[in-house]
Amino acid sequence: MNGKTLRNSLRGVKRSLSKIWNRIYLPDLSRNYMDSGIPEKQRKYVDDELRLMYDGKTPSHFIALQKAFEPIASSRSEKNGASVRLLDAGCASGYYNEVIAHLVDIDIEYHGTDFNPSMLRMAREKYPGLNFSRMDLRQLAWRDGDFDVVLSGAVIEHIKEWKRAVGEIARVSKEWVVMHRALVCLKGATFTRSERHYDVDVYRTYIREKDLLDEFGSHGFEYISKFAVYDKGHDSDIDIFTYLFRRKR
Ligand SMILES: C[S@@+](CC[C@H](N)C(=O)[O-])C[C@H]1O[C@@H](n2cnc3c(N)ncnc32)[C@H](O)[C@@H]1O
How many angstroms separate the alpha carbon of residue 92 from the centre of ligand 1?
Answer: 6
31, 33, 50, best to mutate for ligand 1 pocket (most atoms within 8 Å of CB):
33
**Which ligand 1 atom is the nearest neighbour of the CA of 152?**
6
Share of the chain above pLDDT 90, in %: 82
pTM here is: 0.92
Measured from CB, residues less than 6 Å from any atom of ligand 1 are 33, 90-92, 114-116, 119, 136-138, 153-155, 158-159, 181
Task: Output the CA angle 126-131-134, nearest 5 degrees.
Answer: 95
What are the sequence ranges of the domains in the chain?
Answer: 3-247
Looking at CATH, the fold of the domain delimited by 3-247 is given as Rossmann fold (3.40.50)
Distance 155 CA to ligand 1 centre (A): 5
Angle at 101 between CA 51 and CA 139, to 5 degrees: 100
Which amino acid residue places its CA nearest to atom 9 of ligand 1? 153
pLDDT digits (tens, 9 = 90+) for 136-181: 999 999 999 999 999 999 999 999 999 999 999 999 999 999 999 9
Q: What rounded mean pLDDT belongs to the chain?
A: 93
191-197 and 238-247: which strand pairing?
A: unpaired
Has residue 233 got a pLDDT over 80?
Answer: no
